[in-house]
Structure 1
Amino acid sequence: MTATPPPLGPVRPSPLVEQAADRLRARIAEGAWPVGARLPGETTLAKELGVGRSTVREALRALAGAGMVRARQGAGVFVTALRPVEDWPARLRRAAVGDVYEVRTLVEVQAARLAAQRRTDEDVAAMRAALDGRRAAAGGPGDAFVDADVALHAAVVAAAHNPVLTDLFTQFAPALRQGLIDLLALVDVRRAEHDHGDAAHAELVEAVAAGDAERAGRVAHAELAAIQEKLAARRPGAATG
Structure 2
Amino acid sequence: MHPTKLFAPGPFQAQQLRSGDPYELSNGHPILCLPTGGRGARANLLGGTVLETDPAVEQAGVDAGFSPEPGTMRAPDVAVGHVPDVPGWVQGAPPLAVEYADRGQDEEELQSKIAELLAAGTQYVWVVWLTGPRRVEVYAPGQKLRTVRPGESLEAPGILKNPVPVEALYDREAAHEATLRNLLQRRGYESLEAVRDAGREAGELAHARAVLRRQLGKRGISLDAAQEARIDGTTDLETLDRWLDQTLVAKTVDEALR
> TM-score with structure 1 length normalisation?
0.21
Considering Cα pairs closer than 8 Å and 6+ residues apart, tell me whether 1 or 2 has the greater RCO.
Answer: 1
> TM-score with structure 2 length normalisation?
0.20
Looking at secondary structure, tell me which structure has more strand per residue.
2
